[in-house]
Structure 1
Amino acid sequence: MKRAVFAFAIVAALFTSCKTEKEKTTEEETVVTEEEMAMTDEKPDYAGFGMDEADLPEGLNVGDTAPNITMTTDDNKKMKLADLYAEQPVVVIFYRAYWCPACEKHLSEFAEKAKDIEAKGVKLVAITPETYDNVDKTKKGTGANFTIISDTDGEIMKAFDVDYKVTESYQAMIGDKLNASVAETNATGKAVLPVPATYIIDTNGKIVYRQFNPDYKQRASVQEILDNVPASN
């Protein structure tokens, strides 16, 4: 009888030990998962990008209809976005200005691959708040030979909901580090910038791809765009 009781006690001890170890492992796994979730949910450094959290743009989404906008070219001609996508899919890229090193690098990559994109029957259009005089600086600095539109009144950025007022501290930083004035660079004379977003619009006027990130260093790659361009009619 004593042997039976002793054996039962050993089994019970082993069971309790295994259970305790399992609970410990589960708790550790829970902690790791919560840490990973915290990292995943970490919000962008809006202040570091010159954005006021009280008025953040959200951008248009996949499935939305492209806004009915009219663009003014550098030779003062009017061009409707709808007329462009009626003939072929359109890739719309927003960039900040010639003074932005990340924009210059990004547009330089597109300049090298623009023919590959347009060879798929796609129209490539870059939109910026800077004046056309400053667009010329961008073209010279990047070699861009595709269409670049100055958003002379800021309405294009508003229509795509990518525009935001630049904080004074960020304007000061641009002045100190890049020797440029956001407001004086822009056609509107206002310190407004776009989130450097990218949209692909199909021939029905629907947005089929979106890259939207307040972090101006994160952009859609040429390959991502090539992978998401729809077939033209």
Structure 2
Amino acid sequence: MTTSAQPIAEQAAVLNATVAQQLPADVLASFGEEQAALDAAGVPSGAARPGTAMPDGDLLDVHGARTTLAAARDGAPAVVVLYRGAWCPFCNIALRTYQAALVPALADRGVRLVAVSPQKPDGALTVQQTNELTFTVLSDPGNQLATGLGVLTRGTDAVHAAQAKIGVDVAAGNADGGPGVPMPTTVLVDTDGTIRWIDVQPNYTARTEPQRILDAVDALLG
């Protein structure tokens, strides 16, 4: 089965072209420098590998109730997507695309889809409602999953200053009040809670395409 949604990369390219015409030059320069540095650094050497246990923690659902990733999976295999927050337009593009292209296909395969970010539950609820997501969206105070997976990052002071100029305050939106965010990461977890496949995108403008996820599911869980 192949997906029919427009590739995330194409949607991101349109977004990049649009913001290039709208954002102040100094803000664009800060973001461009950040993306170049992320590309140069690549995937962290300590990032989790297949065969290791998927980390978990004290998470919150969109209404602020305590839960865990294990509870959200409820014994089923899952595709777990770590995203930065409601303020990130690239995250919203990816999540909408996953809703259209992955939800039915994963349901047919008995696989759950769970999205996790460090933002407060009301931010997670905003993401879920704005993008009309039917899959589980959780809040991870303190970036427990990102830390456990070795994909936690934070912007430089210059990036935070640029974000402030366009009304973005990452720390204020995060449940722990800190600036940390995960690198966009997609993890395939089996019924035992073991990582079977992981894809880390250091540059937040890039995301794992739906077909790659389905190919991994079919190859490793089929």
TM-score by length of 2: 0.73
Cα offset, 1:165, TM superposition: 2.8
Partner of 1:74, secondary structure, is coil
Cα offset, 1:216, TM superposition: 1.0
1:223 and 2:216 aligned: no
From 32, 44, 48, the counterpart of 2:35: 48
Percent same amino acid at aligned positions? 26
Cα offset, 1:142, TM superposition: 1.6
Alignment correspondent of 1:171: 160
Correspondences of 1:152-191 after superposition (within 5 Å):
152-177=141-166, 179-191=167-179
Partner of 1:145, secondary structure, is coil
* Distance in 2 between residues matched to 1:149 and 1:95, nearest whole Å: 10
Q: CA RMSD in A?
A: 2.5
Which stretches of structure 1, 4 residues or more, deviate above 4 A after TM superposition? Answer: 83-86
1:66 and 2:54 aligned: yes
Contact 2:75-2:192 within 8 A present in 1 as well:
no
Alpha-carbon displacement from aligned partner over 1:170-211 (angstroms, at most 9, x marks no partner): 11122224x210111111111111101000011232211111
TM-score by length of 1: 0.70
Structure with the greater alpha carbon radius of gyration:
1
Contact 2:114-2:135 within 8 A present in 1 as well:
yes
Contact 1:88-1:202 within 8 A present in 2 as well:
yes
* Distance in 1 between residues matched to 2:128 and 2:69, nearest whole Å: 22
* Distance in 2 between residues matched to 1:190 and 1:66, nearest whole Å: 23
Contact 1:50-1:169 within 8 A present in 2 as well:
no
* Distance in 2 between residues matched to 1:98 and 1:119, nearest whole Å: 28
Distance verdict in 2 for CA 1:90–1:142, change over 3 Å: same
* Gaps in structure 2 of 5+ consecutive residues: 1-31
Instruction: Say which structure, 1 or 2, has more relative contact order (CA 8 Å, 6+ apart).
Output: 2
Aligned residue identity for 1:59: A
* Distance in 2 between residues matched to 1:169 and 1:65, nearest whole Å: 36
